Amino acid sequence: MDDADLLAVLFAFGNSGGAEDLNNDGIVDDADLLTVLFSFGDGC
């Protein structure tokens, strides 16, 4: 999990679903962004 993952979520922000919908609630939103931030630096 690094800045590339963060960018992927930012670019997909507002989109429905997809690989960037990390919590699988159907939309890429701030919750997914927070998931990336909390996991930043972890392997995933």
The binding site for Ca ion (CB under 5 A) comprises: 21, 23, 25, 32
Cα 16 to Cα 10, 22, 32: the distances in Å are 13, 11, 12
By beta-carbon proximity to Ca ion, the closer residue of 24 and 43 is: 24
Shortest approach of Ca ion to residue 3 CB, angstroms?
19
By beta-carbon proximity to Ca ion, the closer residue of 21 and 36 is: 21
By beta-carbon proximity to Ca ion, the closer residue of 2 and 23 is: 23
